[in-house]
Structure 1
Amino acid sequence: MKGNTLKIIDSHFHFRDFKGFNELALAAGHVNSAEHLRQAYAQYHYVHGVVMGNGTLDPEGHVYPEFMSYCIGLDSSGCNDHIEESLPLLEENLKRKQCCGIKLYPGYNHVYIYDSVYDPVYELAKRYDKPVAVHTGLTATANALLKYSHPLTLDEAAVKHPDVQFVMCHIGNPFLQDAIAVLEKNRNVAVDLSGLLEGKIHDMNGFLKAKEGYISMLRDWLCYLNRYDSVMFGTDWPLANLGDYVAFVKAFIPEQYWQAVFFDNANRLYRLGLEA
């Protein structure tokens, strides 16, 4: 954007003292702390972030600074056989304004997201009018199974639950062609662009040149889709550097869509109520 400062919402990041997070942040040129994140946000014009809140389901375990919202995560502590038991706590989170959605981890939980076990979860999402974000694509651990995190699984869930807004996290990377097909077919599926970078990029021009084929593929498939109103910027911090990620995404999103991708879409889909 020319002549204006582009406000940025990070629609997908993590904010916990999990094992390895301090090291990941340092490798990305950051420090894993709220104060550092506040300063980095100001430096790169981030105005808000959506925490993918895995860990406890207890609402008291989800206390965040005012520049953050969160999706309550149903990870291994609240899936499959324990979903019914988790519903009261899940609903308590959804009642909170700062809780803007639900996060599912099918690859790690070994259950398809269209399985009927999730039906009560989707009913809550519909009742509170909050999106369901789904981890898709590659996983961080070897014991996860890709068949459950493949983006095509979202197709059946989206058809089965047409009144639920789904968010395909990580654009299903590296299954981009399948991810785009699901997005093109289902208007109740959006996508975030998180998790595509790792660490600190010390030579961005060299990096963009070396990854020209991959970046071209991202650009071409998103251009083919032509649904920039359903694409959201996200970083997966602390995995990647905040400044690098902005430059990276600008390399494959046409400038006329930066306002939508970097701010408007997340503000609308996650009902954040921020001023543009």
Structure 2
Amino acid sequence: MKIIDAHLHFCPEEAGFSQLAEAAGHENTEKHLQQIYDELGIVCGIVMGNRTVDPKDHQYPPFMRYCIGIDSFYLDGKQVSDSIDQIEENLRRPQCVGVKLYPGYFPMYISDPAYEPVYELARTYGKPVAVHTGETSTPNAYLKYSHPMTLDEVAADHPGIQFVMCHYGNPWLMDAAAVVSKNDNVAADISGMLVGRVNLDMLFEEKQGYLESLKTWMGYLREYDDIMFGTDWPLANLAEYIEFVSRLVPEKYQEKVFFDNANRIYRLDLE
């Protein structure tokens, strides 16, 4: 089975990312990631960009695509409108398949008018807007901005744009399911739910209630047409994450979740 990793971060050799990769049993290098992808049948990875919108800083190997990220590092002291021309330059590229927003890490709702030029570009170029939802990795972020319900208003007001709810709003799974089910233009990835190495048998025994809830609220959606596999590399061990998702998604829907949905939603045109 072919797999698309619909959510990763790619900062090879950077110290913090290298520590995460080592804790997950990996090396934070392009060569290692390519090797593991080949071994596991992952044919493409979608990078969620960080820290700059300068197109020169977004050069990726052929097995990757990317979403240009408008994150808290970039927005520290800047306005979204300051670099709208650079954002558009990225979106013109075939390798750039969308935009990534980071509410929570940056204290602004995605319904703020400041994001309207970004939404207009996404509509013009027909590329999705991926949105961080759910818990954050740092305690100095604000969860009220990253609650999955905040995506409902934006999706309803912009029916011509495809949105991706990253991390399925975890742990607000019921709310996330309601937003995705109600809005035809919202899909979700299920990345970022494991950190480091994991004993899956023990995890499914000790976290049975939580994982049954996750399974329930993924299954709430229409035939799994709006759920995409993603790893949040370098956060988790890739082989373990594939097995983790395989245990949660019924076998008859796995090709959709692991490949078909991301191929369609991000318009990758992979065969």
Q: TM-score, normalised by structure 2?
A: 0.96
Structure 1 consecutive aligned stretches of length 4 or more whose deviation exceeds 6 Å? none
Q: Counterpart of 2:20? A: 24
Q: What do you get for the CA RMSD once the two structures are aligned?
A: 1.3
By how many angstroms is 1:101 displaced? 0.3
How many aligned residue pairs are there? 269
By how many angstroms is 1:222 displaced? 1.7
Q: Counterpart of 2:197? A: 200
Q: Counterpart of 1:94? A: 91
Cα distance in 2 between the residues matched to 1:252 and 1:49: 21
Question: In terms of mean alpha carbon deviation, does 88-97 or 54-63 score higher?
Answer: 54-63
Please tell me whether the aligned partners of residues 80 and 111 of structure 1 are also in contact (alpha carbons under 8 angstroms): no
Cα distance in 2 between the residues matched to 1:159 and 1:149: 17
Describe the SS at the equivalent of 1:106.
coil
Q: Counterpart of 2:104? A: 107
Please tell me whether the aligned partners of residues 53 and 68 of structure 2 are also in contact (alpha carbons under 8 angstroms): yes
Cα distance in 1 between the residues matched to 2:53 and 2:235: 23
Please tell me whether the aligned partners of residues 166 and 190 of structure 2 are also in contact (alpha carbons under 8 angstroms): yes
Cα distance in 2 between the residues matched to 1:23 and 1:242: 15
Q: Counterpart of 1:258? A: 254
Q: Counterpart of 2:209? A: 213
Alignment of 1:1-276 (within 5 A): 6-17=1-12, 18-76=14-72, 77-78=74-75, 82-201=79-198, 203-275=199-271
Please tell me whether the aligned partners of residues 190 and 230 of structure 2 are also in contact (alpha carbons under 8 angstroms): yes
Question: Structure 1 residues 80 and 176 mapped into 2: Cα distance closer, same or farther (>3 Å)?
Answer: farther
> Which consecutive unaligned segments of at least 5 residues does structure 1 have?
1-5
By how many angstroms is 1:200 displaced? 1.0
Cα distance in 1 between the residues matched to 2:248 and 2:98: 27
Letter in 1 for 2:3: I
Cα distance in 1 between the residues matched to 2:236 and 2:151: 26
> Which consecutive unaligned segments of at least 5 residues does structure 2 have?
none
Letter in 2 for 1:199: G
